[in-house]
RNA sequence: UGGGGGAUCGUUCAAUGGUAGGACACAUGGUUUUGGUCCAUGGAAUCGGGGUUCGACUCCCUGUCCCCCAGCCA
């Protein structure tokens, strides 16, 4: 995790420092709009911006781009703060800043631009503005209000601010070039009238700055040196530069990179919002969602997400990352930190014929074979156990290393057993397996050189607890989905899982590996009477 | 049919005029009280066509394909 960021952006920064275009302290920012929850695509931007600032001994702050009150809310602001804290650590988050704190300054600078005769109030309605903007092939037409006097523009702009007009009645536009090939430069709108309640400034303002006008000023005020954003803003860079140049204020360098996309997932807030609103998922933090809060509930760690996005690198080429790649880093982290437990998802009784019914004993089980400091626990063993239904096969092929009549397997941490028979009900369903155990193999080992290829997990029938276990699958069934490709079986709920008694205590911070099955965490809906687990990811499995 | 960007193993990122390399995925073998982990090995790529050069993923010309842009969203 200490690896150095080395990509085309750090190359640019290195050049800028070498050519004295920039100080060696590099300041960045993570500037989300609070109009939805953060997803793993944002995590890439977060680790890039915070990582660069750290690497170049500068600062990185969380700044909310809260310039559109019609889409934003405190709920989103709070969720974003929680997510960034969780990802980068509470002490590394930097300052929490808001574009709305700069509204006064932006207003002053707009007046300044009007005074330079570089901005004007336009009375055209939305349709006329659109029509007169032209398109790729058609030149724009200058607004009839474009050449108002500076004094009149100042007066009208103040009136706009003071609430003398209705929404949409007037806008403030920059006076650039209606024939520019880049349509963003055809007199872009700087302010629109919005009589809306802002989550932070309330009803103080009824004019709100547009992104292009606001963003560069925000960066400038914060002394950002390199303003990193995604590819779709490339066309906006000339405008970013134009405003800062005319204003003669600190001018950060905007650099664009390709955002993250992943197979089997949808990223746009528009689509994620639909999944939530249409109840396809159970909220923004549904464990199937690619949101930070969803991944966290699913049992992902910040470290796994960080290692994943860092492994991806940074480039301008648009790329779709493989979901497997993310899961690899999750397993890598979870393998080293999770507590091993034995849990049976689809239980079937196993009776040990030569084990005394009254007897019972405790066997020692290591908590993490990767790390002995995790210690061990004692688990109860008795005559009747539960094992996994699919660990038995009536007519087993040679390579089936588990239970079948006459075959010997190891019960993990316990004994070798040999299957003696099985019972089915009238429908042919397996209801009970019988076996004998070898008392000399306590702990699951013998020194006689016996080869026991298979090892299966189990729980003691009279000691185990019941739990609900939620298994998740991809939300979409094709690699590059649209909302039409919802995977209908993306969630399976198992209500009668049998779990070892050491899991009785609900601990939301702990990661578990259920032996031979996968990684699991307690779901937030768990309580001491209702143990609920989410599967984070299954173990890799080469069998079948 | 305007403007802006991009094209390297299946996927993703390197190589900045000098042996195309890593990770994931896949395959094979080894270790193993998890068919996990770990270890080893293997297959696998420079979008096409010209040119410059002793030498081109890299520079030049040309073609093709992909992405973004016509919100009072960000």
Task: Tell me the sheet residues that pair with A362.
Answer: A380
Mean per-residue pLDDT over chain A, rounded: 96
pTM above 0.90, yes or no: yes
User: What's the pLDDT score for residue A1?
Assistant: 37
> Mean pLDDT throughout A292-314?
97
Between residue 412 and residue 431 of chain A, the positions with Cβ below 7 Å from nucleic chain B are 412-413
Is a pLDDT exceeding 80 seen at residue A2?
no
Closest CA to the C1' of B13: that residue is A313
Interval A402-460: pLDDT, tens: 999 999 999 999 999 999 999 999 999 999 999 999 999 999 999 888 889 999 999 99
Tokens at A125, concatenated: 């309605």
pLDDT > 90 in chain A, percent: 95
The C1' atom of B10 and the CA atom of A487 lie apart, in whole Å, by 24
ipTM of the complex: 0.95
Measured from the CB, is A401 under 7 Å from any atom of strand B?
yes
CA pair distance A59, A95, nearest whole angstrom: 9
Tokens at A44, concatenated: 């890439």
User: What's the pLDDT score for residue A3?
Assistant: 66
Is a pLDDT exceeding 70 seen at residue A278?
yes
Q: How big, in percent rounded to 5, are the helix, strand and coil portions of chain A? A: 30, 25, 45
> Mean pLDDT throughout A213-225?
98
Measured from the CB, is A165 under 7 Å from any atom of strand B?
no
Nearest CA to A242 out of A105, A158, A116, A133 is that of A116
Measured from the CB, is A450 under 7 Å from any atom of strand B?
no
Position A4 confidence tier, pLDDT thresholds 50, 70, 90: confident
A514-536 burial: b if 16+ Cβ within 10 Å, else e = bbebbbbbbbeebeeeebbbbbb
Measured from the CB, is A124 under 7 Å from any atom of strand B?
yes
User: What's the pLDDT score for residue A206?
Assistant: 98
Position A23 confidence tier, pLDDT thresholds 50, 70, 90: confident
Q: Where are the alpha helices (DSSP H) in A134-177?
A: 150-161
Query: Which chain B positions come under 7 Å from a protein C-beta?
Result: 1-8, 10-14, 16, 22-25, 27, 33-38, 66-74
Interval A109-124: pLDDT, tens: 999 999 999 999 999 9
């Amino acid at each position: 995790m200490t690896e150095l960021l080395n990509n085309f952006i750090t190359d640019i920064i290195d050049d800028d420092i070498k050519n004295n275009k920039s100080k060696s302290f590099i300041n960045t920012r993570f500037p989300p709009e609070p109009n939805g929850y953060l997803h793993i695509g944002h995590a890439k931007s977060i680790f890039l911006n915070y990582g660069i600032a750290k690497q170049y001994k500068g600062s990185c702050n969380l700044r909310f781009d809260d310039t559109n009150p019609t889409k934003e809310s405190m709920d989103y602001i709070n969720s974003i703060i929680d997510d960034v804290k969780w990802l980068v650590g509470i002490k590394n988050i930097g300052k929490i800043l808001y574009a709305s704190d700069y509204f006064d300054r932006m207003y002053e600078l707009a007046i300044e631009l009007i005074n330079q005769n570089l901005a004007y109030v336009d009375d055209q309605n939305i349709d006329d503005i659109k029509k007169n903007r032209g398109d790729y092939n058609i030149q724009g037409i200058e607004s009839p209000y474009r050449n108002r006097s500076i004094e009149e523009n100042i007066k009208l702009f103040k009136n706009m601010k003071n609430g003398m007009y209705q929404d949409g009645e007037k806008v403030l536009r920059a006076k650039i070039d209606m024939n520019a090939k880049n349509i963003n430069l055809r007199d872009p709108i700087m302010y629109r009238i919005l009589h809306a309640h802002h989550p932070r400034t309330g009803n103080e303002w009824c004019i709100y700055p547009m992104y292009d006008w606001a963003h560069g000023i925000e960066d400038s005020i914060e002394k950002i040196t390199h303003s990193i954003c995604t590819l779709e803003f490339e066309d906006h860079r000339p405008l970013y530069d134009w405003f800062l140049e005319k204003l003669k204020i600190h001018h950060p360098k905007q650099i664009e990179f390709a955002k993250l996309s992943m197979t089997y997932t949808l990223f746009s807030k528009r689509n994620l919002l639909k999944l939530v609103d249409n109840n396809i998922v159970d909220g923004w933090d549904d464990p199937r969602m690619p949101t930070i809060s969803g991944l966290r509930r699913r049992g992902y760690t910040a470290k796994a997400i960080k290692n994943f996005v860092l492994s991806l690198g940074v480039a301008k080429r648009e790329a779709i990352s493989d979901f497997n790649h993310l899961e690899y880093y999750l397993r890598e982290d979870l393998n080293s930190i999770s507590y091993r437990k034995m849990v049976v998802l689809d239980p079937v009784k196993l009776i040990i014929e030569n084990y005394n019914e009254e007897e019972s004993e405790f066997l020692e089980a290591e908590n993490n074979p990767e790390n002995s400091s995790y210690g061990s626990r004692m688990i109860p063993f008795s005559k009747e156990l539960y094992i996994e239904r699919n660990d038995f096969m009536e007519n087993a092929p040679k390579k089936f290393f588990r239970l079948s009549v006459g075959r010997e397997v190891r019960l993990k941490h316990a004994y070798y057993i040999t299957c003696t028979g099985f019972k089915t009900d009238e429908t042919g369903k397996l209801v009970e397996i019988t076996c004998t155990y070898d008392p000399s193999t306590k702990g699951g080992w013998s020194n006689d050189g016996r080869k026991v290829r298979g090892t299966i997990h189990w729980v003691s029938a009279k000691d185990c607890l019941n739990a609900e276990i939620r298994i998740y699958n991809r939300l979409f069934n094709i690699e590059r989905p649209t909302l039409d490709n919802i995977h209908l079986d993306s969630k399976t709920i198992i209500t009668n899982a049998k779990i070892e008694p050491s899991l009785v205590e609900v601990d939301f911070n702990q990661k578990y590996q259920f032996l031979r099955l996968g990684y699991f965490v307690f779901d937030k809906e768990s309580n001491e009477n209702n143990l609920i687990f989410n599967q984070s990811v299954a173990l890799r499995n080469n069998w079948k």
